[in-house]
Amino acid sequence: MQITSEILRQFAETTVEKITRANFDVMAAYLRGSLVMGDDPLLGNTTDIDLVFIHTDTPRTSREILRLTDEVHLDIEHHSQREYLKGRELRVHPWMGPSLYNAQVLYDPQHFLDFTIATIRGMFQREDHTIIRTRTLMESARRSWTELHSSPSLSNQQTVTRYLEIIEDAANALSLLAGEPLTERRFLPAFARRVQSLDQPGMYAGLMGLLGAPRVEVETLRDWLTFWNMAYTAKSAAKRPAQIHPYRRNYYLRAFKALLASEKPKDVLWPLLLTWSRVAGCLPEEEPAFARWQAAFEQLGLLGVDFPERITALDMYLEQAEEKIDSWALERGV
């Protein structure tokens, strides 16, 4: 089957019809992600369909992954209507704001969601609202860095995952000045375009340095896909979060291969390292796949004796990002 945006939208509409018919507490549903952003949803000929269902009460589960084919799965979030009652606050939320601004409503018989989205879209692009969304993420990154710097009791896996999450917040803070939050698989190529538009191309190189890119060759990255897959499919993995659900293996693995075949193969580093670290958190430390993860991250300087230097470098990177955000605001008088 040839996957097209039209077929993916049909999958989404069929799913919404099926779920709303069986669940009377669903008030509304909407589509978000690449299908509504006008981007090519396929990478490595795989994609997901991002749906959100809004319930009258607290839903039984917050997120579920449902398989459609080997190439396509549904990534469904379930929210309570309480999260949507303050539209003006959502307008300046760094994640929910952009998501709802671009959302396509698929089910809303009471027009509850239509009203909320109309409130969010009103004045969404104002520069004072943009800077609030940006600074919210930047403050989160700085707060997390302070906690990381002062929390030596964290395990290796917890530490490196926190480190990556700080980078994610900082990169998205900068990206919000020029567009939408970054998606996981295309994180690095999209970030390169965003900072280029901000006349800050060096921020991309700096981020690659934080990930240890200068320490690894492309051939090694290709070899690491085998070890990543070993970890992802390990039977000893404890209960894992939805981000690394078994149905998402092809979604990541084929994307990795596509990125490795691109003009900038090291752009694979972000989704590879983030997912690998999450999987490692589900493995017992005596598992051979855990040792492979540990060795790879030590080579990158993200574990071991060199990691304190990375914490210091991350501090300097956050300062650069903060300076850019402040200058952006100053130039616009916000």
The tokens for 276 are 């690998």
CA-closest candidate to residue 64, choices 76, 47, 80? 76
pLDDT of residue 248: 97
Domain boundary among 91, 121, 151: 121
pLDDT band, residue 302 (cuts 50/70/90): very high
Tell whether 272 and 161 lie within a shared domain: yes
The last residue of a domain, from among 121, 153, 169 = 121
Do residues 68 and 168 both lie within one domain?
Answer: no
Q: Domain holding 59: CATH number?
A: 3.30.460.10
Same domain, 100 and 160: no
- The distance from CA 154 to its chain's CA centroid, rounded to whole angstroms, is 23
Asked if the model's pLDDT at residue 9 lies above 70, the reply is yes
The H or E element spanning position 78 is: strand 72-80
Q: How confident is the model at residue 1 (pLDDT cuts 50, 70, 90)?
A: low
Structure confidence at residue 153 (pLDDT): 58
The residue segments making up the domain with residue 82 are 5-121
Q: Are residues 116 and 131 in the same domain?
A: no
Task: Answer whether residue 124 shows pLDDT above 70.
Answer: yes
| 56 and 95, same domain (yes or no) | yes
The alpha carbons of the chain give a radius of gyration, in whole angstroms, of 20
Asked if residues 33 and 106 have their Cβ atoms less than 8 Å apart, the reply is no
Instruction: pLDDT band for 149, please (50, 70, 90 cuts).
Output: confident
Is 327 part of a structural domain of the chain?
no
Into how many domains does the chain fold? 2
Residues of the chain with pLDDT > 70, as a percent, come to 99
183 & 302 share domain: yes
> Nearest 5°: phi and psi at 28?
-160, 165
pLDDT, residue 38, reads 74
For range 282-300, the mean pLDDT: 95
161 with 60, same domain: the answer is no
Q: Are residues 163 and 219 in the same domain?
A: yes
* Residue 248 falls inside a structural domain: yes
Q: Are residue 82 and residue 180 in the same domain, yes or no?
A: no
Quote the pLDDT of residue 237. 86
Which two tokens mark 116? 């909320």
Asked whether residue 181 carries a pLDDT value surpassing 80, the answer given is yes
Give yes or no: residues 85 and 185 share one domain. no
Q: In this predicted structure, what is the pLDDT of residue 278?
A: 95
**Tens of pLDDT, residues 245-282:** 999 999 999 999 999 999 999 999 999 999 999 999 99
Q: Of 121, 136, 154, which closes a domain? A: 121
Q: H/E/C letters for each residue in 169-238?
A: HHHHHHHCCCCCCCCCCCHHHHHHHHHHHCCCCHHHHHHHHHCCHHHCCHHHHHHHHHHHHHHHCCCCCC
Phi then psi for 27, rounded to 5 degrees?
A: -90, -35
- Is there a single domain that holds both residue 173 and residue 311? yes
pLDDT at position 151 is 74
152 confidence band (pLDDT: 50, 70, 90): low
Tell me whether residue 330 is in a domain: no
Q: How far apart are CA 122 and CA 48, in angstroms?
A: 29
Work out the pLDDT band at 98, boundaries 50, 70, 90: very high
pLDDT digits (tens, 9 = 90+) for 208-234: 999 999 999 999 999 999 999 999 999
Question: What contacts 188, CB < 8 A, 6 or more positions away?
Answer: 204, 207, 208, 264, 266, 267, 269, 270
333 within some domain: no
The angle, 0 to 180 degrees and rounded to 10, between the axes of the packed helices 288-299 and 218-232 is 150
pLDDT digit string (tens) for 309-332? Answer: 999 999 999 999 999 999 999 999
Q: 242 with 297, same domain?
A: yes
Structure tokens at 14: 């069929």
Which residues are bridge partners to 74 per DSSP? 49, 66
User: Would residue 165 count as lying in a domain?
Assistant: yes
Any domain includes 328: no
79 forms bridges with which residues in the sheet?
Answer: 54
The CA distance from 298 to 310, in Å, is 12
Q: Would you state the pLDDT for residue 252?
A: 98
Asked if the structure places residue 326 within a domain, the reply is: no
Which pLDDT score is estimated for 39? 77
Written as one string, the DSSP assignment of 122-149 is TTTT-HHHHHHHHHHHHHHHHHHHHHHH
User: Residue 274: which residues within 8 A CB-CB, separation 6 or more?
Assistant: 164, 168, 184
Q: Which tens digits make up the pLDDT trace of 14-44? A: 999 999 999 999 999 999 998 998 778 999 9
- Does any domain span residue 164? yes
